[in-house]
Amino acid sequence: MKNYKIAWRNLWRNKRRTLITVASVFFAMFFALLMRSIQLGSYDHMFRNVIESYTGYIQVQNEDFKDNPTVDNAFSFTPEIRQMLLNDKNVVDAVPRFESFALASSGSLTKGVLVMGIDPEKESLLSNVRSRLVKYRLSSKTIDNLKKSELPESVKIKLDQYKEESYSTGGILQLDLGIKNADSASVMSIIRREASFSNNYISKGKKEALIGDRLARYLNLSIGDTLVLIGQGYHATTAAGKYRIVGIVRMPTSDIDNKIVYLPVDVCQELYSASGMLTSLALGIKDNSEKKINRMIQSLGREIPVPLRLIEWREMNALLINQMESDNKSGGVMVAILYLVIAFGIFGTVLMMTIERKREFGVLVAIGMQKSKLAAIVSIEMIYIGLLGIFSGIAIGFPAIIIGQYNPIRLSGQYAKVYESYGMEPVMPFMPVDYYFLWQSVIVAVIVGIAIIYPVRKIYKMNLVNSLKA
């Protein structure tokens, strides 16, 4: 009888032992797939949020702007360019931006700032600056009033720790003050009454500005105050202007919060003597798949006039990509630890199976079976067990990942509030089926292959007398 037939029959002589060994491979495969899918899905979710909230997937720029980001490398935005871009069915709209630097001044205080000219309405397609407006501020006066209110003592104790802090969402405020979800309704109503911050949004054509919260504190500015900007305009002209502060925004990144100033794009063009010009034009798109983006780059790239060019998200976010790849490698260490646990689990079941069958192996060799034939049959048995475990893991893991893709894990509590503070939906989505599926199968198969070495080695080194006494 052929070795592979004998191996298959051997598996089902002791169904319980076979099922235990198959189960160890099955769980290894299943959890490896799930963990990797969640890990890659979370990276993809965070990455897409960063792209979609600021740079966009595709921008139009002057070909020299990336290497030399000055107003002299701005470009003229004409109706013809706009129409050419909107002719692509995948383009929802074009979001104009004018970006430069200036010296911000208030009284005797000055600071270098990033000036961002935006379209107040269209910007909601990308960064949605309006959602960053400060809603709560714990000023000294506010804290004094809150301490006299009916807040729990545990909350009052924490107020001084966050003196002069600002919040664009109530969730992070609740988290910082340690307010329990059960008490949030009554406690937050008191805080809203005392700590609510009056804020407005900029409008086109008006000399109004939004500034970062940390920048506002540094310059001692508040709503209604005047901000003076001085810089260099288009073709070395002088850029100077006064702007009334109508709103204060709280940016998640402190480096940006320390220096950001938002102006209406037409007002910003006037400041830099660059009427009708932009430094970049971000495209809001419907389908952000890699295939669709590459097609757009090719088709629009042929039509866009020189010296303009299309720049895609990879080029704009090279540093972020490197950071994500570095984080992915650290995540790979966690997966490696999982594989180590998996390897020990599989080896443990193989060890148990080999010890259980020690007498069986001895009897077979005693009646004349060659050790090489016995080792081959046991190896084929392990291959069958590995294949059964891997395929059953895929069979259960595949629909679980598909379900997770359409019903992602929703975070709650502290993690959810942190996600929301960055403008991200608090979910952990699963990565769609991709090459990682194949790699997990290969790795688990390699682990099973290594585990085969143990019973084969035991067979070749078997002492016949000791095995018959087992």
* Domain membership flag for residue 356: yes
Residue 436's alpha-carbon distances to 41, 161, 218, 429, 443, in angstroms, are: 11, 46, 48, 15, 10
Burial class of residue 225 in the structure, from the number of CB atoms within 10 Å of its CB (0-12 exposed, 13-18 middle, 19+ buried): middle
* Domain membership flag for residue 138: no
**Average model confidence (pLDDT) across the chain:** 83
Reference 252, options 44, 53, 48, 41; nearest CA is: 53
Most confident listed range (28-32, 141-145, 416-420, 435-439): 141-145
* Long-range CB contacts (within 8 A, 24+) of 422-426: 422/49, 422/252, 423/49, 423/53, 423/128, 423/131, 423/132, 423/252, 424/45, 424/46, 424/49, 425/45, 425/49
* Domain membership flag for residue 38: yes
d(CA 324, CA 318): 10
pLDDT for residue 246:
95
Is the confidence at residue 263, as pLDDT, over 90?
yes
Q: Domain residues for 400? A: 3-51+320-469
Most confident listed range (292-301, 317-326, 423-432): 292-301
- Out of 254-263, 357-366, 372-381, pick the least confident: 357-366
Reference 217, options 167, 174, 165, 146; nearest CA is: 165
* Domain membership flag for residue 132: no
* Domain membership flag for residue 123: no
* Domain membership flag for residue 18: yes
Whether the bond between 432 and the residue before it is cis, its omega within 30 degrees of 0, is no
Is the confidence at residue 167, as pLDDT, over 70?
yes
Reference 47, options 369, 318, 248, 285; nearest CA is: 318
| Residues 369-391: tens digit of each pLDDT | 788 888 888 888 888 888 888 88
Reference 174, options 144, 202, 221, 135; nearest CA is: 135
**H/E run at residue 111:** strand 109-118
- Out of 99-113, 369-383, 385-399, 418-432, pick the least confident: 418-432
Q: How many domains does the chain have?
A: 1
Q: Considering the entire predicted model, what is its pTM? A: 0.72
Is the confidence at residue 1, as pLDDT, over 70?
no
Structure tokens at 271: 């400041």
* Domain membership flag for residue 74: no
Mean pLDDT of 44-73: 81
Binned at pLDDT 50, 70 and 90, residue 331 comes out as low
* Domain membership flag for residue 385: yes
